[in-house]
């Protein structure tokens, strides 16, 4: 089937995951829960403008919500792989409900302050940090493999439906009934989410003798992220874009209050326009992808976002500002989907949650640092000048990094299972290690440069899948004898490494093996550390 035919088929089934009852119920509950969260956030952001006129204080609330995700996304990704995901999600929802109950009670008693809002926003950010990777990790459990990409896209669409409804509803409730009622509506939304999670008939997973523990899984995730050059490109483009674009989010409450002379209801409408624009952006994205590649899309949305920031800096009439925010929402969802899609396309299943957690860490780190920096700049130069500077930085960065191409993610990352079980004289304890693996080649001297180049490409795969050291040596007495070696921290980790090798990795290994001159395949030997006897 042609690429265009494949894409058309995928587009026609964009809503097919909703035919799965469990996915449909959890998706609807998630939309409701996110709607409540946006209602809570708009109430908190607006209350801070009542309590303090400082741009730094406004930006601090934004940073308090994103900083925990920056700090905890990677541990959360590990936990999502080693804990019962349903129970973990229920516990997170209870934490988030407790945060909103505290905000509701303090607001009702008139005891809310900037410090209490920041502290409770930080706790809510902890819940969001723990929840993000876990929600992404359960998608393959809810839909058939062929529907996973469509389910991910629907989750993104659901978030933006909530973003279009929540802020506007929150602004209306805040203006009509006050903050306590707005926070109470958020509390009610968690009841529905928890009920859906309890209803979810999740099958109990089979015991795995090679299941990872937290520390080992954490190290494995970091090793993968450190060794994956393709992931590095995605993380760089993510950090640059969102650090610059965070200016508009950090200062949007002040734009609504000071530059546009709006009230809480209007601020909610502003955010609702952003959400509505995001829905429009999600719907037109398939058409845009047929005409533009990922790098062109990212440059385009950087340009659109920069123009929107410049327009808002001028304090335009309200209808023009709302139209600009529609464009901002569309550009924002295209940027999020493009970068997240690039990350998803290059990640194998075994490390997907942890590597996506690294992506979330960079994304939220850029948003946090950017919000704080732009808030401090606005403190000194004012909101309009800061937005103009941010727009210029975003446009220049988009042009400068356009040459750093995003990976296409065309490699086959399905497990190849082509490594034979290692030969052992007797059973080896799983915690024994480290393990030294030797692969012995014979390569003609004339072929050595091409062979070493192939091994260098293979080295990244070794490190991604579990090796913490890698090297190549030659026999001093026989230069045609070359040994590739790598070290793995334990026998269990090496057995996991056998299961992690993908079909694309198998192709890299075949490329190196074709230089081998021996009548049989290169010999593979495993060495275990022996405790010295004194």
Interval 421-450 mean pLDDT: 89
Tens of pLDDT, residue by residue over 322-378, are 999 999 989 988 898 788 878 877 888 778 778 888 888 888 789 888 988 998 999
Residue 210: predicted pLDDT = 65
Residue 525 has pLDDT above 50, yes or no: yes
Residue 1: predicted pLDDT = 37
**Contact between residue 370 and residue 244 where contact means Cβ atoms under 8 Å apart:** yes
Residue 112: predicted pLDDT = 84
- In this predicted structure, which of 286-300, 316-330, 390-404 has the lowest mean pLDDT? 286-300
Q: Please name which of 333, 494, 497, 515 lies closest in space to residue 441, comparing C-alpha atoms.
A: 515
Q: Which DSSP category does 476 fall into?
A: T
Neighbour-count burial of 135, counting CB atoms closer than 10 A to its CB (0-12 exposed, 13-18 middle, 19+ buried): middle
**Contact between residue 256 and residue 268 where contact means Cβ atoms under 8 Å apart:** no
- Provide the CA 56 distance to its chain's centre, in angstroms: 27
Residue 9: predicted pLDDT = 42
CA angle 275–279–281, rounded 5-degree value: 110
Q: Please name which of 174, 333, 332 lies closest in space to residue 266, comparing C-alpha atoms.
A: 174
Between 495 and 285, residue with greater pLDDT: 495
**Contact between residue 406 and residue 240 where contact means Cβ atoms under 8 Å apart:** no
**Contact between residue 508 and residue 461 where contact means Cβ atoms under 8 Å apart:** yes
SS3 388: helix
**Where residue 257 falls among pLDDT bands split at 50, 70, 90?**
confident
Residue 532: predicted pLDDT = 56
Q: Please name which of 286, 337, 378 lies closest in space to residue 58, comparing C-alpha atoms.
A: 378
Q: Over the chain, what is the mean pLDDT?
A: 85
Residue 389 has pLDDT above 50, yes or no: yes
Residue 290: predicted pLDDT = 81
- Directed axis angle between helix 229-254 and helix 318-345, to 10°? 160
The structural architecture, per CATH, of the domain 435-528 is 2-Layer Sandwich (3.30)
CA–CA distance, 404 with 106 (Å, rounded to integer): 49
Residue 31 has pLDDT above 70, yes or no: yes
**Contact between residue 27 and residue 150 where contact means Cβ atoms under 8 Å apart:** no
Residue 415 has pLDDT above 80, yes or no: no
Residue 91: predicted pLDDT = 93
Residue 501: predicted pLDDT = 85
Q: Please name which of 467, 245, 225 lies closest in space to residue 361, comparing C-alpha atoms.
A: 225
CA–CA distance, 359 with 487 (Å, rounded to integer): 27
Helices (H), 55-147: 55-82, 85-108, 114-142
Residue 166: predicted pLDDT = 82
Q: Please name which of 31, 38, 99, 56 lies closest in space to residue 268, comparing C-alpha atoms.
A: 38
Q: How many CA atoms lie within 13 A of 86 on its CB side?
A: 16
Tens of pLDDT, residue by residue over 69-121, are 777 878 888 887 777 788 889 999 999 999 999 999 998 888 888 888 889 98
**Contact between residue 283 and residue 222 where contact means Cβ atoms under 8 Å apart:** no
**Contact between residue 155 and residue 282 where contact means Cβ atoms under 8 Å apart:** no
CA–CA distance, 59 with 253 (Å, rounded to integer): 9
Residue 365: predicted pLDDT = 83
**Contact between residue 138 and residue 151 where contact means Cβ atoms under 8 Å apart:** no
| Locus of tokens 């809310």 | 112
CATH no. of 17-201+211-403: 1.20.1250.20
Residue 6: predicted pLDDT = 40
Residue 242 has pLDDT above 80, yes or no: yes
In this structure, the chain runs to a length of 534
Could you state, in order of their start, the residue ranges of all structural domains in the chain? 17-201+211-403, 435-528
Residue 8 has pLDDT above 50, yes or no: no
CA–CA distance, 439 with 520 (Å, rounded to integer): 13
Name, in order, each residue with C-beta under 8 angstroms of 177's C-beta and a sequence gap of 6 or more.
none
Residue 300: predicted pLDDT = 94
CB atoms within 10 A of CB 90: 16
Parallel/antiparallel/unpaired status of strands 523-528 and 478-488: unpaired
- In this predicted structure, which of 160-164, 175-179, 293-297, 499-503 has the lowest mean pLDDT? 160-164
Residue 295: predicted pLDDT = 92
Residue 182: predicted pLDDT = 92
Most confident of 46-60, 147-161, 295-309, 488-502: 295-309
Neighbour-count burial of 166, counting CB atoms closer than 10 A to its CB (0-12 exposed, 13-18 middle, 19+ buried): buried
Neighbour-count burial of 333, counting CB atoms closer than 10 A to its CB (0-12 exposed, 13-18 middle, 19+ buried): buried
Numbers of helices and strands, H then E, in the chain: 17, 4
Residue 209: predicted pLDDT = 57
**Where residue 205 falls among pLDDT bands split at 50, 70, 90?**
low
Tens of pLDDT, residue by residue over 466-514, are 899 999 999 999 888 999 999 999 998 898 888 888 888 888 888 999 9
Between 48 and 183, residue with greater pLDDT: 183
Residue 198 has pLDDT above 50, yes or no: yes
Tens of pLDDT, residue by residue over 143-169, are 886 676 667 767 777 877 787 788 778
- Residue 64, both tokens: 């308090």
CA–CA distance, 391 with 63 (Å, rounded to integer): 20
Which helix (H) or strand (E) covers residue 484, if one does?
A: strand 478-488
CA–CA distance, 241 with 303 (Å, rounded to integer): 11
- Residue 387, both tokens: 């937005």
């Amino acid at each position: 089937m042609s690429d265009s035919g494949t894409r058309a088929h995928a587009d026609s089934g964009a809503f097919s995951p909703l035919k799965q009852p469990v996915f449909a119920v959890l998706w609807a509950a998630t939309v409701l829960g996110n709607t409540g969260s946006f209602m809570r956030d708009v109430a908190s952001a607006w209350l801070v403008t009542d309590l303090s006129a400082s741009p730094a204080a406004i930006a601090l609330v934004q940073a308090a919500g994103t900083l925990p995700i920056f700090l905890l996304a990677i541990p959360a990704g590990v936990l999502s792989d080693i804990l019962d995901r349903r129970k973990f999600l229920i516990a997170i929802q209870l934490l988030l409900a407790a945060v909103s109950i505290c905000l509701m009670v303090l607001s009702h008693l008139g005891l809310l302050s900037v410090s209490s809002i920041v502290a409770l926003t930080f706790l809510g950010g902890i819940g969001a940090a723990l929840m993000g990777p876990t929600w992404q990790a359960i998608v393959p459990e809810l839909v058939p493999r062929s529907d996973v990409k469509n389910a991910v896209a629907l989750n993104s669409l659901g978030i933006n439906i909530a973003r279009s409804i929540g802020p506007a509803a929150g602004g209306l409730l805040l203006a009509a009934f006050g903050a306590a009622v707005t926070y109470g509506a958020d509390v009610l939304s968690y009841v529905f989410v928890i009920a859906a999670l309890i209803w979810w008939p999740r099958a109990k997973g089979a015991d795995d003798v090679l299941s990872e523990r937290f520390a080992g899984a954490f190290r494995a995730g970091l090793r993968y992220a450190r060794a994956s050059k393709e992931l590095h490109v995605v993380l760089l483009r993510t950090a640059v874009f969102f650090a610059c674009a965070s200016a508009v989010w950090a200062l949007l409450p002040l734009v609504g209050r000071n530059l546009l002379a709006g009230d809480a209801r209007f601020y909610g409408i502003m955010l609702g326009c952003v959400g509505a624009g995001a829905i429009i952006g999600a719907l037109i994205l398939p058409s845009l992808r047929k005409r533009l590649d990922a790098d062109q899309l990212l440059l385009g949305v950087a340009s659109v976002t920069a123009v929107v920031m410049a327009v808002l800096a001028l304090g335009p009439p309200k209808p023009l500002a709302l139209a600009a925010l529609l464009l901002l929402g569309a550009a924002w969802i295209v940027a999020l989907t493009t970068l997240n899609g690039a990350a998803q396309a290059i990640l194998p299943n075994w490390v997907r949650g942890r590597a996506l957690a690294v992506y979330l860490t960079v994304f939220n780190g850029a948003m946090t640092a950017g919000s704080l920096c732009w808030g401090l700049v606005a403190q000194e130069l004012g909101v309009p000048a800061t937005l103009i500077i941010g727009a210029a930085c975003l446009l220049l960065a988009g042009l400068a990094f356009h040459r750093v191409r995003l990976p296409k993610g065309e490699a086959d990352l399905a497990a190849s299972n082509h490594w034979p079980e290692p030969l052992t004289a007797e059973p080896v304890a799983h915690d024994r290690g480290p393990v030294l693996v030797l692969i012995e080649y014979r390569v003609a001297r004339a072929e050595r440069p091409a062979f070493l180049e192939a091994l260098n490409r293979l080295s990244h795969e070794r490190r991604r899948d579990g090796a913490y050291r890698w090297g190549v040596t030659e026999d001093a007495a026989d230069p045609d004898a070359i040994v590739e070696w790598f070290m793995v921290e334990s026998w269990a980790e090496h057995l996991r490494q056998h299961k992690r090798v993908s079909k694309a990795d198998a192709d890299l290994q075949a490329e190196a093996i074709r230089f081998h001159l021996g009548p049989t395949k290169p010999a593979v030997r495993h060495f275990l550390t022996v405790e010295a006897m004194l």
